[in-house]
Structure 1
Amino acid sequence: MEKIWANSGDSHFLEPDTLWQDNLPARLAELVPRAEKDPDGEWETVHIDGMSFRRKLPTSAAKQFEALSTRAPGSGDVDLRMIDLDQEGIWGELVFPSLGMWSSSFRTPEVLREALRVSNDWAWETIDKPQPRLVATAQVSTLDIGDAVVELERCAELGYRAVFMPVTPHPLQKDYNRDEWEPFWAAAEAARMVIAFHIGTDPIDLSKGGSMGIIYRGPGGALLNYTETTFGGQRAVMKLVACGALDRHPDLKVLVSEGGATWVPFIADRIEEGYRQHAMAVRPKLNRSPREIIYSQVYASFQHDSSAVAAATSMGYHNVMWGSDYPHMEGTYGHTQETLHHLFDDVDPVIKQRITVGAFSELFPDVPALPNALTAAVG
């Protein structure tokens, strides 16, 4: 089977568990997340930023899921990762963090600001700097917008090309459609930083026993929770369009990773209809149509969905980007080539090239191009 090479708009990296504790001053290090398990192994106490919460530990099934989600050799090692990527047929790759998933649980701006600064320095030196095929995403506080602007600009000076944003900001901060976020969107546009939303990053309320990705329980809970994760990215895009942020900043690019792509034409149609049919109530007024804004500034990555290819072939939406979701179990690690052939063997070569290589290269032109010896398999 001829290898199809592709860029990936979605992957994850496991930082050292003690990264923050080892690199922050003692007074701050004692406030970052740590967990103490009960002797019986059923419950744990989580300490973070002066708060302590009790929560039940995952069941055996959940533990198995977590183990499968980090099974790839390169999940926390760049050299091993590149071996994995070459075997899978992945060239360039956007990389999301893991420790940053705790961000919504902090309540002290200084602790979150300094912890994310440590993460950004570490990721730049460990991921981006030594490996030009990888694009690490910077992290910024959504608890303090001023801190977010300063750190985004600092990371841009380092050389970062994308900033990871949760689909919903910190629960103590205003939502993305509010004017308070305007300086951040302006700074990101000026720095040419891609706003990289990742689905499944809504805030977690640990004080109420919340767990990552758990909203529904009971019959069908696993499927309900998995499907629910996609909606946050859609809402984030809706907010940036409806409040005029993308209209005011036409050079600002947004990527929603791992959430599929067929939702984009639907959301564009829905917002377009609302803007047209309810014009008397719509504020602010936009200089361009919602569909034009979305189709020109919003990108979407998927891993398995044949319907995502149809968004490009049949719906006129061409900012579709494939992603492996390495190393997570819902991704394609171990069967990437089978997935790519299933998706693209019968697809117009122009569309195939756009989804596998072109859209990614448009967002991240500094990533070295596929060598000539490999491009034939893409075109």
Structure 2
Amino acid sequence: MPKLWTNSGDSHFLEPEDLWESRLPRRLAALTPKAAKDPDGEYETVHVDGQSFRRKLPTSAAVTFLEESRKAAGIRDAGLRLGDLDQEGVWAEVIFPSLGMWASTFRTPELLKACMRASNEWALEEVASVSDRYVVTAQVSTLTVEDAVSELEWAAEQGFKAVFLPTRPHPSAPDWHRNEWEPFWAAAERASMVLAIHIGTDPVDFTSERVGVAYRGPGGAVMNYTETTFSGQRAAMKLVASGALDRHPDLKVLISEGGATWIPFLGDRMREGYRQHRMAVRPELKRDPKDILMTQVYASFQHDESAVAAFDAMGYRNVMFGSDYPHMEGTYGHTQDTLKQLFDGVSEETRLRITQGAFLELFPHVPPVPVGEPV
């Protein structure tokens, strides 16, 4: 069968571990995360921004899982990455960072702002410059709103088209539904910057031995994996219910890797809450909450058969495929098999909208699949 080409609303890149330390002034570089294994071999001591804590090292199974997801050559090399994409039939992709997972541990605004700028400059030099098929997400400090606005405006001037946001901001900052973030939403709308929110990125408490673990016991692995999807749904709910998207109708949001079928359901639930509890609703919205969610929020998935039905049967047009390259939950190594299973017997209109159309609606600057290539 001919290759089916797709764009991807979700992929990842692994930055050099010393990126921040190598690019920051010495006094700030000394505060960036550093870890040393304890003599017992089961724990490590982490020093970051004047704080120190011990944490249990991952199990051998978890380490193996992580290492397997990093074997793809293109996770560290943007040039080699194009070969991986061509092999898989992925044309263009949204690329999320990896090092930024430490952002929630910082407490000094100057340090976090400097780290985000260093990451953005590196991404421009080492990834974005390699190919216009890459939609690299900018990073901003969410410790203070002012710093976030400043970095977003700088990133837009440099050509970034999307900004990565965690599902919740820094623990010391107001949550996304608070009015303090209004200047940021306004700045993003002015810059036509897509808010790219990746599931499972709530601030991490690295002092806990239960990092990434909500459940233990029977079914724990499946429940912990499933749990990560809910953070993206909560972020979308906050942006709609707070009126942020209603006030900024040109602002677009991408929730990556969390599936798509939840959008119509969440819209129904929010519509019901708005209607049945109207006397307590603040703020009042100019538009129906479900309509806001269905039109301004895009959602990427990788394996979910129900996501195709969300487009065909539920009227949700902003469904977008995402390969999650190169994570083990993704489709790397079997993207073509996955696409052919998902779209077997599906109309060409549906397939093209999910694989290419929704992506190009968010990122019209990306060149389409070349004429003559199978689509």
Question: Please, what TM-score do these two structures have when normalized by structure 2?
Answer: 0.99
1:103 counterpart = 2:103 = yes
Alignment of 1:119-268 (within 5 A): 119-211=119-211, 213-268=212-267
Alignment of 1:52-131 (within 5 A): 52-131=52-131
* 2:10 aligned counterpart, secondary structure: coil
Match of 1:10 in 2: 10
In 2: Cα distance, 1:75 partner to 1:346 partner: 33
- 3-state SS in 1 of match to 2:324: coil
User: Contact 1:10/1:301 (CA < 8 Å) preserved in 2?
Assistant: yes
Q: Is the 8 A contact 1:91 1:133 kept in 2?
A: yes
Q: Does 1:349 align with 2:348?
A: yes
CA contact (8 A) 1:163 1:193 kept: yes
Give the superposed CA RMSD: 0.9
- Tell me what 2:300 maps to: 301
Is the CA contact (8 Å cut-off) linking 2:127 and 2:134 kept in structure 1?
A: yes
Partner Cα separation in structure 2 for residue 242 and residue 70 of structure 1 = 38
Q: Is the 8 A contact 1:103 1:112 kept in 2?
A: yes
Question: How far apart, CA to CA, are the structure 2 residues paired with 1:319 and 1:53?
Answer: 43
Taking the aligned partners of 1:140 and 1:210, their CA distance within structure 2 comes to: 27
SS in 1 for 2:151: helix
Deviation at 1:103, TM superposition (A): 0.7
Q: What CA distance in whole angstroms lies between the structure 2 residues aligned with 1:42 and 1:83? A: 38
Aligned length: 375
Cα distance in structure 1, aligned partners of 2:71 and 2:314: 36
Whether contact under 8 Å (1:10, 1:325) holds in the other structure is yes
Residue 324 of structure 1 contacts residue 331 of structure 1 at CA under 8 Å; is this kept in 2?
A: yes
CA contact (8 A) 2:79 2:130 kept: no
Aligned residue for 2:58, secondary structure, equals coil
Q: Residues 97 and 137 of structure 1 are in contact (CA less than 8 Å); yes or no, is this contact kept in structure 2? A: yes
Amino acid at match of 2:236: V
Per-residue displacement from partner, 1:59-91 (whole Å, max 9, x unpaired)? Answer: 111011101111211111011100000000000
The structure 1 segments of at least 4 consecutive aligned residues displaced by more than 4 Å after TM superposition are none
What per-residue deviation string (whole Å, max 9, x for no partner) do you get for residues 318-361 of structure 1? 10000000010000000000000000121111010000000000
Offset of residue 221 of structure 1: 1.5
Q: Determine helix, strand or coil for the equivalent of 2:2.
A: coil
Task: Name the CA distance, whole Å, in 2 between partners of 1:264 and 1:124.
Answer: 33
In 2, the alpha carbon distance for the partners of 1:37 and 1:243 equals: 44
Q: Which ranges in structure 1 are unaligned for 5 or more consecutive residues? A: none
Q: Distance in 2 between matches of 1:77 and 1:129?
A: 12
Q: CA offset at residue 125 of structure 1?
A: 1.3
Q: CA deviation at 1:278?
A: 1.0
1:119 is paired with a residue whose SS is helix
Instruction: Give % identity.
Output: 66
Using the alignment, how far apart are the partners of 1:32 and 1:71 within structure 2?
Answer: 26
Residue equivalent to 2:22: 22
- Distance in 2 (CA, whole Å) between partners of 1:247 and 1:235 is 17
Q: SS at 1:65's partner residue?
A: helix
Report how far residue 126 of structure 1 moved: 1.2
Question: Contact 1:139/1:164 (CA < 8 Å) preserved in 2?
Answer: yes
Contact 1:53 1:209 in 2 (8 A): no
Residue 210 of structure 1 deviates from its aligned partner by 4.7
Q: Is the 8 A contact 2:161 2:193 kept in 1?
A: yes
Cα distance between partner residues in 1 of 2:79 and 2:12: 15
For 2:158, the aligned partner's letter is L
- The alignment partner of 1:218 has SS state of coil
How big is the shift at 1:208? 3.2
* Matches of 1:366 and 1:245, distance apart in 2: 25
Looking at structure 2, the residues matched to 143 and 209 of structure 1 have their Cα atoms a distance apart, in angstroms, of 24
Q: Does 1:336 align with 2:341?
A: no
Identify the range of structure 1 (32-41 vs 297-306) with the bigger mean alpha-carbon deviation: 32-41
Please give the secondary structure, in 1, of the residue aligned with 2:255: strand
CA distance in 2, matches of 1:130, 1:68: 25
Structure 2: which 5+ runs fail to align?
none
- Give the secondary structure class of the aligned counterpart of 1:207: coil
Whether the 8 Å contact between 1:54 and 1:209 is mirrored in structure 2 is no
